[in-house]
Amino acid sequence: MTFHYHGIDHVQLAAPAGREEEARSFFTGLLGWKEIPKPESLRKRGGVWFQCGTHQVHIGVQNDFVPAKKAHPAFHVSGIAQLRVHLADNNVVIIDDEVRAEEGVRRFFTQDPFGNRIEFLEWLET
């Protein structure tokens, strides 16, 4: 083969038009991700981009927006218990999931301000 994959560059989540401030409040304010500038040619489309570790999360405007309730990104995090408490203390609804605990994974789900499902997980040391 003459090609190979390097991994994921970015994940895009959809949002209704005009709700960039809510995205900033959640992704920067609560999650602590850094906002990154969109290229000038894409700014007129709306939306906002964030840096999460080595990856980017793009919040893109979708006119006929419907939140993703099943399909979702999963973010690998260290200190998941502290993140869970931080989000719960800020009135973010947490859905605990012990399904993969036997595999050495702690995880929970939540939603962004637009109803998109988001997973946070931490691999436990064995």
Phi, psi of 27 (to 5 degrees): -75, -35
Fold category of 10-123 in CATH: 2,3-Dihydroxybiphenyl 1,2-Dioxygenase; domain 1 (3.10.180)
For residues 30 and 125, the model is more confident at 30
**Is 83 a residue whose pLDDT tops 80?**
yes
Query: Mean per-residue pLDDT for 30-42?
Result: 97
> 48-66: per-residue pLDDT in tens?
999 999 999 999 999 999 9
117-123/105-111 β-pairing:
antiparallel
Is the pLDDT confidence value at 126 over 90? no
pTM for the structure as a whole: 0.91
Is residue 35 a contact partner of residue 82, using CB atoms and an 8 Å limit? no
pLDDT at 125: 76
Give dist(CA 23, CA 114) in Å, integer.
Answer: 8
User: How confident is the model at residue 61, as a pLDDT?
Assistant: 97
Least confident of 5-9, 40-44, 75-79, 86-90: 5-9
